[in-house]
Structure 1
Amino acid sequence: MKKKKVWIIVSISVAVIGLMFVFFNDKVSVSASSVALTEQGWKANFSSSLHQDAIDKGDVYITDAQGDQVDVEMILHDNGKTLEIPVITTGEYQLHIKSEALKNNFMKSLVRREISFVVQERLEQLSDEEELRNYFAQLMEMEQNNQRYGGVIVESGEETAESTDSAAGESEGTGGEDYSTTNNQVAGVDEADLVKTDGSYIYSISESRVIISDIQNPQQMAVAAELPFTQETYPQQLFLSDDTLVVLGSRFSAMPIDDFRLPRSQLPQLGITSVDLYDVSNPESPQLIREFGTEGNLSGARLTSNILYFVTNVYPDYWILEEQDEPELRPHRYDSNNGGDLEPLPYNSIAILPGTMEGSYSVITTIELDAPETNDISTKGFLGGSEQLYMNEENLYLTASAYTPLSDEEMSDSREMAMWMPQQANTEVFKFGLNGTTVEFLASAEITGSLLNQFSMDEHNGYFRVVTTEGITWDLTSPSKNHLFILDGQMNQVGSVENLAPGERIYSARFIGDKAYMVTFKETDPLFVIDVSAPSSPKVLGELKIPGFSNYLHPLDDNHLIGFGYDTKLVPVKNGEPRVVTGGMKISLFDVSDFTAPVERDTEIIGGAGTYSTLQYDHKALFTHQERNLFGFPAALYEESAGDYVEFEGEGALIYTITPDGISQAASLIEQTNNQYEDWNTATQRILYIGEELYTVANGEIKSYDLETFEPISSMMFDK
Structure 2
Amino acid sequence: MAISRSNLPQAHDNRYPIRLALIIAATLFTGCGGGSGSSGAQAPSSSSDGLLRKVASDAEFVSQFRAAYTRPVSADTSKNGNMQPVAAEAGGATDSKSGYSTTYTLEADVDEFDVLKYDGDHLYIAPTLQARCCFISQGTLSANDASFAPPSPDQSGGIRILSTNTANASAAEVSTIPLAPGEYVQGLYISGKQLISIGSSQYYGPYGSKWLGIANWLQQNLSIKIYDTTTITKPELKWDIGIEGGMVDSRRIGDTLYIISRHSPYFDNIYYYPSNQNEADANAQRLAAIQPQDLIPRLTINGESKPLFTPQGCLLSRDDQAQDYAYPVYTSITAISLSSPNTAESVCFNEESTGIYVSQEALYLSQYRYSGKSEGTRIHKFKLNAGKPDYRGSADIAGQLWGPGQADFRMSERGGLLRVVTTVFTNDSQDSRDHQLSILQEASTSKTLELVGSLPNAQRPKEIGKDNEALYGVRFLGDRAYFVTFEQIDPLYVIDLSNPADPYIAGELEIPGVSDFLHPVSNELLLGLGRGGPSQQHIKLSLFNISDISKPQELNNVLLGVDGGWNYSEAQYNRHAFTYLANDTGPDRLAVPVQSSYQKPDSSYSNENRLYLLEISAKTMPATASVDLVGSIIASPAPNDMWYAGQNRSVLDGDAVYFLSGDAVWAALWGDSAVQSGPY
TM-score per shorter chain, which class? 0.7 to 0.9
Is residue 315–residue 359 contact of structure 1 (8 Å, CA) maintained in 2? yes
Alignment RMSD (CA, Å): 3.5
Specify whether residues 303 and 439 from structure 1 end up closer, same or farther in structure 2 by C-alpha distance, changes over 3 A only: same
Q: How far apart are 1:516 and its partner, in Å?
A: 0.3
Is residue 110–residue 360 contact of structure 2 (8 Å, CA) maintained in 1? yes
Residue 349, structure 1, aligned to residue 313, structure 2: yes
**Stretch deviating more after TM superposition (313-322 or 495-504):** 313-322
Q: How does 1:497-516 map to 2 (within 5 A)?
A: 497-498=455-456, 499-501=463-465, 502-516=467-481
Deviations 1:55-79 (A, max 9, x none): xxxxxxxxxxxxxxxxxxxxxx999
1:273 pairs, out of 211, 219, 222, with 222
Inter-partner Cα distance in structure 1 for 2:47 and 2:420:
25
**What is the DSSP-based 3-state SS (H/G/I as helix, E as strand, rest coil) of the residue aligned with 1:282?**
coil
Deviations 1:692-715 (A, max 9, x none): 311112333222211332254532
Specify whether residues 125 and 269 from structure 1 end up closer, same or farther in structure 2 by C-alpha distance, changes over 3 A only: closer
Q: How far apart are 1:346 and its partner, in Å?
A: 2.6
Q: For residue 707 of structure 1, what is the aligned residue in structure 2?
A: 670
Residue 221, structure 1, aligned to residue 186, structure 2: no
Is residue 160–residue 619 contact of structure 1 (8 Å, CA) maintained in 2? no
Q: For residue 454 of structure 2, what is the aligned residue in structure 1?
A: 496
Inter-partner Cα distance in structure 2 for 1:343 and 1:269:
17
Inter-partner Cα distance in structure 1 for 2:560 and 2:80:
40
Inter-partner Cα distance in structure 2 for 1:404 and 1:613:
36
Q: How far apart are 1:462 and its partner, in Å?
A: 1.3
Specify whether residues 120 and 684 from structure 1 end up closer, same or farther in structure 2 by C-alpha distance, changes over 3 A only: closer
One-letter code of the match for 2:455? V
Q: For residue 541 of structure 2, what is the aligned residue in structure 1?
A: 587
Q: For residue 310 of structure 1, what is the aligned residue in structure 2?
A: 259
Percent identity between the aligned chains? 25
Inter-partner Cα distance in structure 1 for 2:245 and 2:679:
36
2:330 pairs, out of 340, 352, 361, with 361
Q: For residue 260 of structure 1, what is the aligned residue in structure 2?
A: none
Inter-partner Cα distance in structure 2 for 1:562 and 1:646:
36
Q: How far apart are 1:532 and its partner, in Å?
A: 0.5
Inter-partner Cα distance in structure 2 for 1:83 and 1:624:
39
**What is the DSSP-based 3-state SS (H/G/I as helix, E as strand, rest coil) of the residue aligned with 1:123?**
strand
Q: For residue 15 of structure 1, what is the aligned residue in structure 2?
A: none
Deviations 1:42-61 (A, max 9, x none): xxxxxxxxxxxxxxxxxxxx
Q: How does 1:272-291 map to 2 (within 5 A)?
A: 272-291=221-240
One-letter code of the match for 2:369? A
**What is the DSSP-based 3-state SS (H/G/I as helix, E as strand, rest coil) of the residue aligned with 2:126?**
strand
One-letter code of the match for 1:667? G
Inter-partner Cα distance in structure 1 for 2:357 and 2:473:
15
Specify whether residues 158 and 677 from structure 1 end up closer, same or farther in structure 2 by C-alpha distance, changes over 3 A only: farther
Q: In the comparison of the two structures, how many residue pairs are matched?
A: 553
Q: How far apart are 1:141 and its partner, in Å?
A: 6.0
Deviations 1:367-424 (A, max 9, x none): 122345xx41112221121111111111111100122322xxxxxxxxxxxxxxxxx3
**What is the DSSP-based 3-state SS (H/G/I as helix, E as strand, rest coil) of the residue aligned with 1:615?**
helix
Inter-partner Cα distance in structure 1 for 2:44 and 2:523:
43
2:117 pairs, out of 196, 206, 215, with 196
**Stretch deviating more after TM superposition (692-701 or 395-404):** 692-701
Inter-partner Cα distance in structure 1 for 2:360 and 2:87:
24
Q: How far apart are 1:349 and its partner, in Å?
A: 2.6
Q: For residue 565 of structure 1, what is the aligned residue in structure 2?
A: 530
**Gap regions ≥5 residues in structure 1:** 1-28, 30-76, 89-118, 163-169, 254-267, 407-423, 570-580
1:175 pairs, out of 96, 104, 116, with 96
Is residue 452–residue 501 contact of structure 2 (8 Å, CA) maintained in 1? yes
Q: For residue 370 of structure 1, what is the aligned residue in structure 2?
A: 339
**Stretch deviating more after TM superposition (691-700 or 591-600):** 691-700
Is residue 123–residue 441 contact of structure 1 (8 Å, CA) maintained in 2? no
Inter-partner Cα distance in structure 1 for 2:330 and 2:347:
10
Inter-partner Cα distance in structure 1 for 2:118 and 2:568:
26
Q: For residue 326 of structure 1, what is the aligned residue in structure 2?
A: 289
Q: How does 1:506-585 map to 2 (within 5 A)?
A: 506-567=471-532, 581-585=535-539
Specify whether residues 529 and 85 from structure 1 end up closer, same or farther in structure 2 by C-alpha distance, changes over 3 A only: closer
Deviations 1:517-541 (A, max 9, x none): 1111112111110000100000001
1:664 pairs, out of 628, 631, 648, with 628
**What is the DSSP-based 3-state SS (H/G/I as helix, E as strand, rest coil) of the residue aligned with 1:348?**
helix
Is residue 160–residue 551 contact of structure 1 (8 Å, CA) maintained in 2? no
Deviations 1:526-557 (A, max 9, x none): 11100001000000011122222111111111
Inter-partner Cα distance in structure 1 for 2:50 and 2:397:
22
Is residue 613–residue 634 contact of structure 1 (8 Å, CA) maintained in 2? yes
Q: How far apart are 1:509 and its partner, in Å?
A: 0.5
2:569 pairs, out of 604, 610, 613, with 613
Is residue 221–residue 716 contact of structure 1 (8 Å, CA) maintained in 2? no
**What is the DSSP-based 3-state SS (H/G/I as helix, E as strand, rest coil) of the residue aligned with 2:372?**
coil
One-letter code of the match for 1:332? P
Inter-partner Cα distance in structure 2 for 1:425 and 1:503:
18
Deviations 1:451-471 (A, max 9, x none): 132100001111110111111
Q: How does 1:593-672 map to 2 (within 5 A)?
A: 593-607=547-561, 608=564, 610-627=566-583, 628-639=587-598, 647-659=605-617, 660=619, 661-670=625-634
Deviations 1:493-536 (A, max 9, x none): 01011242232221120000010011111121111100001000
**Gap regions ≥5 residues in structure 2:** 1-14, 16-36, 129-154, 204-216, 273-282, 321-325, 444-448, 457-462, 620-624
1:125 pairs, out of 51, 55, 59, with 55
Inter-partner Cα distance in structure 2 for 1:404 and 1:524:
33
Q: How far apart are 1:233 and its partner, in Å?
A: 1.0
Q: For residue 440 of structure 2, what is the aligned residue in structure 1?
A: 487
Q: How far apart are 1:211 and its partner, in Å?
A: 0.6
Q: For residue 149 of structure 1, what is the aligned residue in structure 2?
A: 78
**What is the DSSP-based 3-state SS (H/G/I as helix, E as strand, rest coil) of the residue aligned with 1:620?**
helix
Inter-partner Cα distance in structure 2 for 1:157 and 1:361:
13
Deviations 1:137-179 (A, max 9, x none): 444466524456269699x9998725xxxxxxx8212222122
TM-score by length of 1: 0.70
One-letter code of the match for 1:615? A
Q: How far apart are 1:620 and its partner, in Å?
A: 1.0
Specify whether residues 83 and 281 from structure 1 end up closer, same or farther in structure 2 by C-alpha distance, changes over 3 A only: closer
Inter-partner Cα distance in structure 1 for 2:38 and 2:409:
32
Q: How far apart are 1:241 and its partner, in Å?
A: 0.6
Specify whether residues 460 and 708 from structure 1 end up closer, same or farther in structure 2 by C-alpha distance, changes over 3 A only: same
Residue 465, structure 1, aligned to residue 419, structure 2: yes
Inter-partner Cα distance in structure 1 for 2:44 and 2:572:
41
Structure number with greater CO (CA < 8 Å, separation at least 6) is 2
Deviations 1:219-269 (A, max 9, x none): 66322111111112111111101111110001169xxxxxxxxxxxxxx97
Specify whether residues 84 and 344 from structure 1 end up closer, same or farther in structure 2 by C-alpha distance, changes over 3 A only: closer
TM-score by length of 2: 0.74
Q: For residue 241 of structure 2, what is the aligned residue in structure 1?
A: 292
Q: For residue 136 of structure 1, what is the aligned residue in structure 2?
A: 65
Q: How far apart are 1:487 and its partner, in Å?
A: 0.8
Deviations 1:661-710 (A, max 9, x none): 222111121357698844649x6621102343111123332222113322
